[in-house]
Amino acid sequence: MKPSALAVGALALGLGIAIPAPALAALPEPVRAMINAAIATGDEEKVRTVIDLARTTNPADAAELDAIESNYAVTLAALTEAESAAQQEAIRTAGLFGNWTGQGELGAFQSTGNADNVGITAGLGLVREGINWRHKLSGRADYQETEGVVTREQYLAAYEPNYKLSERLYAYGLAQYERDAFQGFAARYSASGGLGYDVLTGDRMTLSVKAGPAWRRTELVGGTSSSSFAGLAAADFDWRLAETISLTQDASALVQSGSSTFISDTGVVAKLSGKMSVRLSYTVEHDTAPPPGAVKTDTLSRVTLIYDF
């Protein structure tokens, strides 16, 4: 966790008063100003680089520069610990509607498979991070009419709670509702629970996988219904290729006797501003045994604007 700008200012002030005056007098003022300017950016790597350069150009002041770097490290650690403690306390005391973040999505799609058309798409994703719990809510709707006749109408809503068992391991639950008459089902309900693991947790690349038993009930457009137990496996991969470009890949498999479903969603996100992005995505959904009259594979290409909040 990087200290805030206010904390960085306090750090620079603390650095100035922590070194005895005689030692400070030896270091040229332009060099000290350069170091303080680096500290003010809040970029730890930049501070280290500037101090290393100062050692090269001012070898006689190496002892003082060592003291400045040591003082910087101690003060930075203290500020980081204090802000982390304050953040955790804020999470603990937050109300039911606190600590939620999310993004809204609106755009257009083109589909092939059980319906070949162009329409509008909208989505919403919410996440609440707690000390041990994480809650995810998501919803999506695709809709299109041609000459007053609905030619695509697909809805999805899901809730997924996670409980952190360790730094990377977590238990998950999942409840999901789907509706897609053009795939042949009026409603499809899924429930699952199991274990997940954060394989990659870097700043530029993350990968999370999960698996567990599942149950699914399908209500067909014709009025018949069926329920069965299944197994669920899923992966969520994000890769920040550049400061403004990211690649996303989500995949899931719900395997059951008679009819299994495999979904892959690949997307490229380009940041337009601080909170606005544009996303191009391609989704493939394959059902091994679809309802009568439906084809096995649907594809959906989306272009959407995303707003983070």
pLDDT above 60: residue 1? no
pLDDT of 22 > 50? The answer is: no
Longest dimension (CA), the chain: 88
pLDDT for 3 equals 57
Q: Name the token pair of 253.
A: 């498999």
CA 249 to chain centre: 12
Average pLDDT, the chain: 88
CATH number assigned to the domain with residue range 100-308, chosen from the 4 options 2.40.160.40, 2.40.50.140, 2.30.110.20, 3.40.605.10:
2.40.160.40
Provide the H-helix boundaries in the chain. 5-18, 21-26, 29-40, 44-57, 62-93
In this prediction, residue 208 carries a pLDDT of 98
pLDDT score at 146:
75
Which among 149-153, 255-259, 267-271 has the top mean pLDDT?
267-271
- 115 CB neighbour count, 10 Å cutoff: 22
Pick from 302, 233, 232: nearest CA to 265: 302
Extents of the domains making up the chain: 5-93, 100-308
For 98-142, how does the pLDDT look when each residue is reduced to its tens digit (9 = 90+)?
Answer: 789 999 999 998 877 776 778 999 999 999 988 899 999 999 999
Sorting pLDDT into bands at 50, 70 and 90, what band is 17? very low
pLDDT band per the 50, 70, 90 thresholds, residue 209: very high
Q: Round to whole Å and give the CA distance between 38 and 13.
A: 13
Least confident range from 25-29, 45-49, 142-146: namely 25-29
pTM as predicted? 0.73
Which three-class secondary structure string do you get for 223-259? CCEEEEEEEEEEEEEEEECCCCEEEEEEEEEEEECCC
pLDDT value for 18: 41
Torsional sign, CA 18, 21, 27, 30: positive
